[in-house]
Amino acid sequence: MGARLIKTQGGSGYTGKVQTYDVLSSHSTLLAPGDFVSETGTGTSAGRAGVDASAAAGLITGVITSINPNFSNLEQKGLPANTGGTVQVEVDPYALYEIEIATTALAATSIGLNAEIVATAATSSGGAARSNMTLDGSATGTATAQLRIVGLVEDPDGVLALGAIGNKALVRINESFIKGTVGV
């Protein structure tokens, strides 16, 4: 599932602050909506910045909201490795996302801390590309970690305890290309 946009933390409603970025054909993993991406430092002939999947412990530009269609291959799911393309990225630094908790459960005392992502490559199945990026519950506390934990989300089925592995956390980007490294 990756990161799913829920709302913004600012005083106004969501304004759809997406930016178009290019992905070079040299990228090495399948990209899907919900993946965190980082600027590569390489511009393209179209005059846009390039992005690729974020790694753990680095600056994040935003989250892929959509991948522009490849009209020569309409069956393409996501943006396959070694295939160039264009993606729309949510870049609002106050956007809030739900993301699955992995590795270690979180507690109410985790709210306000920062955590890294688990940067697992997307997969393709059932006719769709799926982001597999999650929140690393074991990597909380550092001021410069990638995501700020804003809240914990109840399991809609009532099966998982609040903050349990597999449940979701509400986060915003903390270590950002857009607004710089910020932390508590």
Burial of 25 (0-12, 13-18, 19+ CB in 10 A): exposed
pLDDT attached to residue 11: 60
Cβ atoms of 25 and 82 within 8 Å: the answer is yes
pLDDT at residue 184, rounded to an integer: 44
pTM for the model stands at 0.91
Beta-bridge mates of residue 110: none
Number of structural domains found in the chain: 1
pLDDT, one tens digit per residue, over 27-39 is 999 999 999 999 9
Taken in order 148, 150, 156, 159, the sign of the CA dihedral is positive
Q: What is the rounded distance in angstroms from the CA atom of residue 33 to the CA atom of residue 48?
A: 19
Q: What confidence tens digit (pLDDT) does each residue in 144-182 have?
A: 899 999 999 998 888 888 999 999 999 999 998 877 665
Assigned token pair, 158: 């009532």
d(CA 107, CA 22): 38
CB 28 within 8 A of CB 82: yes
> Residue 145: which domain range?
4-181
Which regions in the chain score pLDDT beneath 50?
A: 184
